[in-house]
Amino acid sequence: MARIIVVTSGKGGVGKTTTSAAIAMGLAKKGHKTAVIDFDVGLRNLDLILGCERRVVYDFINVINGEASLNQALIRDKNCNQLYILPASQTRDKDALSLEGVGKVLDELTKDFEYIVCDSPAGIEKGANLAMYYADDAFVVTNPEISSVRDSDRMLGILSSKSRRAERSEEPIKEYLLLTRYDADRVKSGEMLGLDDVQEILSLELLGIIPESKSVLSASNAGIPVILDEKSEAGQAYADVVDRYLGETRPHRFIDPKKGFLSRLFGGRK
Amino acid sequence: MLNTSPVLEFKSSTFFAPILILCSHDLVAIEEALQEKIRLAPEFFRDSPLIIDFRELNKLHLDLDFAQIVQLLRRVGFFPVGIRGGNELQNKQARELWIPIDTVRELGGTITIGETAKPETSQPAAPQPAVAAPREPQPAIVPPTTPAPATLITHPIRSGQRIYAIGDLIIMSQVSAGAEIMAEGNIHVYNTLRGRALAGVHGNTDARIFCFDLQAELISIAGDYKTSEDLNKQKYNHPVQIYLQNHALIIKEIA
């Protein structure tokens, strides 16, 4: 029985697709057979981040409509044979998704995968609602700025009231916070909300802080999930996130500003 | 592929409608009292659905023609959508006017005026504040007297969520900015209150709001309100109670 994870935020551009690609790859690298689904029908991106855009033949909508089998549409990742990608359709829109159709595809995936990662589109409309409806766990991706925090809060309300688990009065979706694009220096100077400010409003279990990092953009452009860049801080932070999600204890890193060369040499003033 | 979506579907849902309890069969007095209420809160009552409750009237053995009261209510701008506690003739008249008859649920001689509000966010039906408690003697309209059960909520109320409680509302977790909590009775928030809180929404001026940390966007008791701009920021991070005194909201620290 697979665990269904939704990566969601409400707000756009906060790093949902980057996160989906990274954690799906992280779980697969740990030996768990993982599928990652792009729910952003019409604005296909996940395949680019995972570098498989040239191998897309059939997509999620084809499977829902019965025009292709799941096995025909799933693309096996070339870096990790435990990771499969179900791309979104570029030529359709979110109306092509249906509750029954999504449910059918997830049911079928549940049979031979351990984790299913659903990459939610931005917004709180149909695409986002369907991405989270069947979820067991939610990774709420938030940037340290007020509008992103507010949108995440709104999304949390939807998670707790509009999901299948809520409708069946089952145990609620487990919600985790992922604070992305965190710049400890700007937090220190008061330009950016800090972890405490965000947690005061959201009060969620923190799965990880992903520092703002140039390596994210270059990894995206290269089509390699940033988690595979083990030298980058973002890559390490995502690896920690996967470990924590799997139940291991990892101290939180990247909360405090990096010390410069001189202050390291002479010891920072307190 | 053809879209084979169904033509219609049935869903169960609850919505709020004020109940008009009649205690007099004097149509002129009723109309005057209604006009007075509407004048006080025209937006609240505009095109409002209404359920007419005849129990008090029939207890007093006062006779009232159903068709006439419906006509009166429609004239002043209400939409009567139901009758409860009517006698045989009134029910028959209601049926002729295609107005549904609600069977009053008896609970040890008292009635329940609705279900305990569940955290309801999917279809936020705007609650229609009902008629306020009148102060003049021999009132034409009185609020229901049965105390409603309190609603307890232990999870956070997130932005965009709305909670409505028929009695008191007790929230153990935070209320986010952009959330709205409403109660016909008192509101207790044992955490930070950042959203909107409206107590005594049916006109109970004795209702109070209690919270651990007042950072609300709006607070209101029986229709008198203050926005965050008017709130004293010095009261932040202190437990406070809010009550109504001569139509003024008093915010007082709980020592």
How far apart, in whole angstroms, are the C-alpha atoms of residue A142 and residue A146? 10
Tens-digit pLDDT profile for residues B149-161: 899 999 999 999 9
How would you classify residue B119: left for phi > 0, otherwise alpha for psi between -120 and 50, otherwise beta? beta
Taking an 8 Å cut-off on Cβ atoms, the answer to whether A153 and B158 are in contact is yes
Taking an 8 Å cut-off on Cβ atoms, the answer to whether A160 and B178 are in contact is no
How far apart, in whole angstroms, are the C-alpha atoms of residue A210 and residue A225? 14
Structure tokens at A219: 């990894």
Residue of A nearest to B194 (CA): A201
Residue of A nearest to B119 (CA): A161
How far apart, in whole angstroms, are the C-alpha atoms of residue A41 and residue B194? 35
Sign of CA dihedral B251, B125, B45, B137: negative
Q: Which residues of B touch A140 (CB under 8 A)?
A: none
Taking an 8 Å cut-off on Cβ atoms, the answer to whether B1 and A66 are in contact is yes
Structure tokens at A240: 């920690």
Give, for all 270 residues of chain A, the pLDDT tens digit. 899 999 999 999 999 999 999 999 999 999 999 999 999 998 999 999 999 999 999 999 999 999 999 999 999 999 999 999 999 998 888 889 999 999 999 999 999 999 999 999 999 999 999 999 999 999 999 999 999 999 999 999 999 999 999 999 999 999 999 999 999 999 999 899 999 999 999 999 999 999 999 999 999 999 999 999 999 999 999 999 999 999 999 999 988 887 666 666 665 444
Residue of A nearest to B215 (CA): A201
How far apart, in whole angstroms, are the C-alpha atoms of residue B181 and residue B192? 13
Q: Are B50 and B70 in contact (CB under 8 A)?
A: no
Q: Within an 8 Å CB–CB cutoff, is residue A167 touching chain B?
A: no
How far apart, in whole angstroms, are the C-alpha atoms of residue A103 and residue B82? 40
Per DSSP, chain A holds a count of helices (H) and strands (E) of 13, 8
Q: Compute the radius of gyration of chain B from its Cα atoms.
A: 20
Taking an 8 Å cut-off on Cβ atoms, the answer to whether B159 and A67 are in contact is no
Q: Within an 8 Å CB–CB cutoff, is residue A201 touching chain B?
A: yes
Residue type, B56: E
Q: Are strands A3-8 and A83-86 parallel, antiparallel or unpaired?
A: unpaired
Taking an 8 Å cut-off on Cβ atoms, the answer to whether B158 and A150 are in contact is no
In eight-state DSSP terms, residue B134 is P
